[in-house]
């Protein structure tokens, strides 16, 4: 593990130094172009007989841009030297392990993927080596099984105290009621610390502020409501650890490959370049990546893990009530579930659409969804569901009955 960590850190530094150099190259190109344009303007101003005042101002601008260009050139030299040093340090670190194989660019990514792949195959060692383990939870079923896996591993390795469960609370204007409380109960049952980060206003606030809805291509919501809220925790955890050397933080996420092609391309373990620094190495860990939906429900039944009741009402994901990624049928059902639970969210979201003049989808507004839900309600009557229905659908009546008995006994 120490050798792999040193190599990963070498890769991180080389990657970061190369990225800084690439940025410096771009900055110099911009500065050189701006400087050349300014000089051309002075030449043409002089030829067109501009006033002495205008000419002096144009020459001052040229001097200013020339200074910036010089600064950009110096930065380029510094970043070039830093990148060369970082790459040769990495080369020296890697040389004893694979003679003749390069560590630049793609070679470096391949080496990192190999090391991370090996580490992912030995989760117990990973957990033991970590200084802190952050499990992000939405409160949903995949997060639940992810948390269960991590907690089980950490408990078996005798280091449960490293685990912290983090929930990004989007508020009841965005999410189904009881999500935060459920996540907290899960943490309490596992005996781990529970932290909440809150994105003020949630999805409703974000849409109102931007005057438009996010969409699948520009999913700003996940970044600003979840990832950006959780990111500062890595620094806080590192500070609290107070280690002399670099801390190793595992950041566990309950995503599954079967959910989408993008998720299927994820590796079980990845180096989080954005969150890592010389003080901490953050590895993003996907402990339930290979599980199917049925596997998840089987584990929930087997371990009597408390899941959110919206799953029983045929809502497949515990996400924002009007998630921008949800299909039409799910949104219609979400509206009907809101009515069944006495929530006024459909009315509020319809009003928001009208207020900002932007529909939640190009060809589908929440108002359309509400109209469809009204028709469905007239034809079928209000939604009816019972606790355990999600398990009945996925793992059968017997498993559901056992689950409900276990849950009642544990209450
Ligand atoms: S649940 Fe859906 S709408 Fe909410 S933050 Fe995630 S992707 Fe965006």
pLDDT single digits (tens) 165-221: 999 988 778 899 999 999 999 999 999 999 999 877 778 888 888 888 887 777 677
Instruction: Examine the domain organization and report whether 120 and 242 are in the same domain.
Output: yes
Domain presence at residue 294: no
The whole-number pLDDT of residue 203 equals 81
Residue 403's domain spans which residues? Answer: 304-410
Select from 286, 276, 284, 267 the least CA-distant residue to 11. Answer: 276
Instruction: Examine the domain organization and report whether 243 and 382 are in the same domain.
Output: no
CB contact at 8 A, 308 and 293:
no
Q: Which one-letter DSSP state was computed for residue 314?
A: T
Instruction: Examine the domain organization and report whether 269 and 321 are in the same domain.
Output: no
CB contact at 8 A, 198 and 233:
no
List residues near ligand 1 (CB under 6 A): 203, 219, 221-222, 225, 319-320, 323-325
Task: Decide: residue 398, CB within 10 A, 0-12 exposed, 13-18 middle, 19+ buried.
Answer: exposed
Instruction: Examine the domain organization and report whether 259 and 325 are in the same domain.
Output: no
Instruction: Examine the domain organization and report whether 136 and 94 are in the same domain.
Output: no
Q: Which of 107, 132, 162 is the last residue of a domain?
A: 107
Instruction: Examine the domain organization and report whether 276 and 382 are in the same domain.
Output: no
Q: Which of 232, 253, 285 is the last residue of a domain?
A: 285
Flag residues of the chain having pLDDT under 70.
98-106, 219
Instruction: Examine the domain organization and report whether 245 and 377 are in the same domain.
Output: no
Domain presence at residue 299: no
Q: Which of 107, 142, 158 is the last residue of a domain?
A: 107
Centre of ligand 1 from the C-alpha of residue 120, in Å: 28
296-315 residues labelled b (16+ CB within 10 A) or e (exposed): bbbbbbeebbbbbbbbbbbb
Domain presence at residue 267: yes
The whole-number pLDDT of residue 98 equals 61
Residue among 319, 322, 334, 349 whose CB has most ligand 1 atoms within 8 A, to mutate: 319
Q: Which one-letter DSSP state was computed for residue 224?
A: I
Q: Domains in the chain: how many in total?
A: 3
Centre of ligand 1 from the C-alpha of residue 245, in Å: 37
The whole-number pLDDT of residue 105 equals 58
The whole-number pLDDT of residue 220 equals 74
Domain presence at residue 171: yes
Instruction: Examine the domain organization and report whether 278 and 319 are in the same domain.
Output: no
Instruction: Examine the domain organization and report whether 128 and 252 are in the same domain.
Output: yes
Query: Which residue's CA is the closest to the ligand 1 atom numbered 2?
Result: 323
Task: Give the atom of ligand 1 at the shortest distance from the alpha carbon of 222.
Answer: 5
Task: Decide: residue 408, CB within 10 A, 0-12 exposed, 13-18 middle, 19+ buried.
Answer: exposed
Domain presence at residue 293: no
Domain presence at residue 291: no
Centre of ligand 1 from the C-alpha of residue 290, in Å: 22
Instruction: Examine the domain organization and report whether 79 and 119 are in the same domain.
Output: no
Centre of ligand 1 from the C-alpha of residue 182, in Å: 19
CATH number for position 159: 3.40.50.620
Instruction: Examine the domain organization and report whether 168 and 79 are in the same domain.
Output: no
Pairing assessment for the beta strands 132-137 and 163-169 based on DSSP bridges: parallel
CA pair distance 324, 213, nearest whole angstrom: 8
Q: How many CA atoms lie within 13 A of 172 on its CB side?
A: 9
Query: Under DSSP, is residue 378 helix (H, G, I), strand (E, B) or coil?
Result: helix
Residue among 222, 254, 331, 349 whose CB has most ligand 1 atoms within 8 A, to mutate: 222
The whole-number pLDDT of residue 100 equals 53
Domain presence at residue 163: yes
Instruction: Examine the domain organization and report whether 345 and 377 are in the same domain.
Output: yes
CB contact at 8 A, 111 and 91:
no
Select from 316, 62, 379 the least CA-distant residue to 176. Answer: 316
Domain presence at residue 295: no
């Amino acid at each position: 593990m120490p050798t792999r960590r040193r190599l990963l850190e070498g890769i991180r530094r080389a990657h970061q130094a190369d990225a800084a150099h690439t940025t410096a190259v771009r900055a110099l190109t911009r500065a050189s172009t701006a400087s050349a344009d300014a000089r051309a303007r002075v030449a043409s101003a002089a030829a067109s007989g501009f006033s002495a005042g205008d000419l002096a101002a144009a020459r001052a601008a040229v001097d200013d841009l020339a200074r910036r260009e010089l600064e950009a050139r110096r930065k380029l030299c510094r970043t070039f030297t830093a990148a060369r040093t970082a790459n040769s340090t990495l080369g020296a670190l890697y040389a004893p392990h694979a003679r003749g194989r390069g560590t630049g660019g793609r070679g470096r990514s391949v080496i990192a993927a190999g090391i991370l792949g090996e580490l992912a195959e030995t989760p117990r060692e990973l957990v033991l080596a970590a200084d802190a383990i952050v499990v992000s939870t939405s409160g949903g079923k995949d997060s639940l099984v992810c948390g269960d896996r991590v907690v089980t591993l950490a408990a078996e390795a005798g280091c449960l105290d490293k685990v912290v469960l983090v929930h990004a609370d989007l508020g009841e204007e965005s999410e189904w009621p009881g999500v935060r409380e459920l996540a907290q109960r899960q943490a309490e049952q596992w005996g781990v610390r529970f932290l909440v980060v809150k994105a003020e206003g949630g999805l409703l606030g974000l849409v109102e502020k931007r005057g438009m809805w996010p969409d699948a291509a520009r999913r700003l919501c996940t970044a600003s409501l979840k990832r950006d809220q959780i990111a500062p925790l890595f620094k806080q955890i590192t500070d609290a650890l107070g280690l002399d050397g670099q801390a190793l933080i595992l950041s566990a996420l309950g995503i599954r490959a079967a959910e989408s092609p993008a998720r299927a391309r994820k590796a079980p373990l990845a180096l989080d370049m954005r969150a890592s620094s010389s003080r901490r190495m953050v590895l993003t860990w996907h402990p339930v990546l290979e599980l199917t939906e049925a596997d998840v429900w089987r584990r929930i039944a087997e371990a009597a893990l408390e899941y959110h009741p919206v799953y029983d009402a045929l809502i497949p994901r515990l996400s924002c009530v009007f998630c921008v990624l949800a299909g039409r049928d799910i949104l219609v059902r979400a509206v009907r579930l809101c009515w069944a639970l006495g929530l006024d969210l459909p009315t509020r979201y319809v009003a928001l659409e009208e207020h900002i003049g932007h529909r939640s989808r190009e060809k589908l507004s929440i108002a359309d969804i509400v109209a469809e839900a009204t028709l469905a309600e007239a034809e079928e009557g209000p939604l009816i569901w019972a606790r355990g229905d999600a398990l009945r659908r996925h793992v059968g009546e017997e498993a559901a009955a056992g689950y409900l008995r276990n849950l009642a006994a544990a209450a």
